[in-house]
Structure 1
């Protein structure tokens, strides 16, 4: 009966996925690009780091508001406005750093860079979930949803590996302002293309026939907050791990290699994230969170005992095998628990929670490394992984009981207005 129902690629359009992938690249280039630019223009590593943190702060403060606006007015309008504002802010950043204006002006523009950053990744997730509910045959929705969340997480990790690499190439071969200018051009071209893509109509905001959006208080339900805290823990882990690893590599005389070694974690993470789509439906989301969160924690517990770079790579590979599936699971739960008409809001809140956690843990871990050394700093990732596991335990308690499984029905039903999980 559903033999002729479209696949997600056909439903979204074959050009959707490459456009959405490149459109999220500027977001991955902004923080490192601003750091490179400010260090070169103002000759201060500390001031460069402060500006990078302010970029993250701007994105965290305004990101959820952009998501709420997209739920209310549709993604197309919000992305066109934020894309133009972002490209303008990036151009302004390239100018103000070399201008005679004081440090406060540079910080103000850095905040604008983060605040105007188009929230492509969460809006892509929200858009695809709505397409799955509207266009995919009911019997295939569960598997399609799992595959989509896995792909989206892997795509995020890919651009956050490639983005800093592109910044490094442009900054060294051309000029320190080139990465920021390049991000502005990519934003104008690909964010605009993403906004104008026909798939945006699937997430065009509520109309007269749609259900009214759920009240804002539904965003603060315990089941939603458990996911926010869990993904905040992942953000804490990212910040703590990169900062403590930088200290570890400096102790071994190779501080410049910290990013390369950190990338090892992304190998296992991306591979297992993509593999989530192959998990049986009997392996529930709440169980996945606990299993892979525990894998993160077990790997992190080994960090204080690591003495060589090779051993560190092995431990990071293990930790990555836990991080990828954990993030996929958290984003899946976020999508499934989004109140009616609030999916873009929830997705941007989750993305912002990662940034806030990363910024906070970077600052705390850096301070501990400076004062007490690498051995102390390496305990912070353990605490961060502990937050992930504790939130997973809370999620298990908050998940509603699983009804007896009917093999004739899919374990996941998605409607255009609200996703419903029957096996969380």
Structure 2
């Protein structure tokens, strides 16, 4: 099918339709809520932070097992055929999970159900990035593509950040106002309704229904070091998210209000999302590699301050500073991934990064929860700083080899 010719005066929203971005945003929430909701539900019902963290890690394991496979299937056969059955299955599993927890089922069954929730986790964020990149390539005039790409990736990362904020916030509010099972049931309803709506949205046609295998880069291209360093960096971001949320939960549990951990976590996310959107207005001469280094340094310094703990007020201030570092870092990583994605492997690249983020978040939740319960809360508070150091190390590797991987320094929106 012949693609429409680019129209210079038409914005990206003209090509997506006004309803696309709200639908795509809400469709992210089940994915953002399920890890936190599982953690909060198990802690509330079973009374164990360690078991809650382990169950959350099981969700992440399911995501990492299925994520790259779902991305490859979407690249080959189209997103609709993948997302519709996956979203429906995820909704069913989320709906029955509170029953499994409340029935005092064996830990093995609990963990198996959590893995299944992760396997069916709808990779909406990755699929949305793939659609937007395809639309920009097909329908935006060449001279406007670089700027449009930069703004679109900033929005997508800000949407992720906001979803990661609103998800835990909604979990905390529903758990506090209704019951610990309410957030999981809400996530199930959102998966049924909005993931299906996203899957069936006309923008899905921007990605070919069946990719030409000869036009696709080989799968081994996904193992190139210039992509692996981004996967490792996104993994570090996931470690940061998981350890921060779980250590905050433990921190507030020690003060008699464990449900407030998710609410306090939202303080960091608000600043993070705002800064993620602000990345779009940064000058092109501030290259992606320089941005990643700069914001990784900010994150490492603020995470070190967080590890000192202190009063709730002090931790809240430090969380705001951490948000300044983490939001732009995530934007930059996905922008680099979009520029470096092998031919025909955009959805695969994005799902691999999203899977790395979720797996790391879940694993760090398990480890941090176990440490908080068996060692001390103070020790658990150190883990976000360790994750930030890993991100800084990967930012350094990227800066050192970016010229070799991407050619000479190029402006943002290309390979920067």
User: Aligned to 1:121, what secondary structure does the other structure show?
Assistant: helix
Contact 1:141 1:412 in 2 (8 A): no
Larger Rg: 1
Q: 2:80 matched to which residue of 1?
A: 76
Greater displacement, 302-311 / 109-118: 302-311
For normalisation by structure 1, the TM-score amounts to 0.88
1:197 & 1:75 partners in 2: Cα distance?
10
Once the 2 structures are TM-superposed, how far is the Cα of residue 152 of structure 1 from its aligned partner? Answer: 1.2
1:382 & 1:288 partners in 2: Cα distance?
19
Q: 1:114 matched to which residue of 2?
A: 118
Once the 2 structures are TM-superposed, how far is the Cα of residue 144 of structure 1 from its aligned partner? Answer: 1.2
For normalisation by structure 2, the TM-score amounts to 0.89
Q: Are 2:89 and 1:85 aligned?
A: yes
Contact 1:8 1:132 in 2 (8 A): yes
Give the aligned length. 410
Once the 2 structures are TM-superposed, how far is the Cα of residue 202 of structure 1 from its aligned partner? Answer: 0.8
Pick one of 378, 381, 386 that aligns with 2:389: 386
Greater displacement, 270-279 / 138-147: 138-147
Contact 2:169 2:263 in 1 (8 A): no
Once the 2 structures are TM-superposed, how far is the Cα of residue 80 of structure 1 from its aligned partner? Answer: 1.1
Q: 2:325 matched to which residue of 1?
A: 322
1:306 & 1:101 partners in 2: Cα distance?
36
Q: How does 1:16-415 map to 2 (within 5 A)?
A: 16-38=20-42, 46-98=50-102, 102-207=106-211, 212-250=215-253, 255-400=258-403, 403=408, 411=411
Contact 1:206 1:212 in 2 (8 A): no
CA change 1:303–1:292 in 2 (3 A) is: same
2:323 & 2:353 partners in 1: Cα distance?
19
User: Aligned to 2:215, what secondary structure does the other structure show?
Assistant: coil
Greater displacement, 275-284 / 52-61: 52-61
Once the 2 structures are TM-superposed, how far is the Cα of residue 363 of structure 1 from its aligned partner? Answer: 2.9
Once the 2 structures are TM-superposed, how far is the Cα of residue 143 of structure 1 from its aligned partner? Answer: 1.5
1:363 & 1:396 partners in 2: Cα distance?
32
Once the 2 structures are TM-superposed, how far is the Cα of residue 331 of structure 1 from its aligned partner? Answer: 0.6
2:409 & 2:115 partners in 1: Cα distance?
50
1:154-189 Cα offsets, whole Å, 9 max, x none, are 211222222233334444555544433332222222
Alignment gaps of 5+ in structure 1: 406-410, 414-420
1:377 & 1:39 partners in 2: Cα distance?
17
1:36 & 1:277 partners in 2: Cα distance?
35
Once the 2 structures are TM-superposed, how far is the Cα of residue 315 of structure 1 from its aligned partner? Answer: 1.9
CA change 1:396–1:304 in 2 (3 A) is: same
Greater displacement, 275-284 / 137-146: 137-146
2:163 & 2:74 partners in 1: Cα distance?
23
Once the 2 structures are TM-superposed, how far is the Cα of residue 131 of structure 1 from its aligned partner? Answer: 0.8
1:319-376 Cα offsets, whole Å, 9 max, x none, are 2111110000001111111111111111111111112222222333334434543443
1:54 & 1:288 partners in 2: Cα distance?
33
1:264-309 Cα offsets, whole Å, 9 max, x none, are 2112211110000001111111111001111111212223445333
Once the 2 structures are TM-superposed, how far is the Cα of residue 29 of structure 1 from its aligned partner? Answer: 2.2
Greater displacement, 257-266 / 62-71: 257-266
1:210-233 Cα offsets, whole Å, 9 max, x none, are 852111110000000010011111
1:40-93 Cα offsets, whole Å, 9 max, x none, are 666766544433321222112211211111111111111112112212222333
2:41 & 2:308 partners in 1: Cα distance?
37
Contact 1:222 1:398 in 2 (8 A): no
Once the 2 structures are TM-superposed, how far is the Cα of residue 102 of structure 1 from its aligned partner? Answer: 4.1
Contact 1:236 1:357 in 2 (8 A): yes
1:304 & 1:404 partners in 2: Cα distance?
36
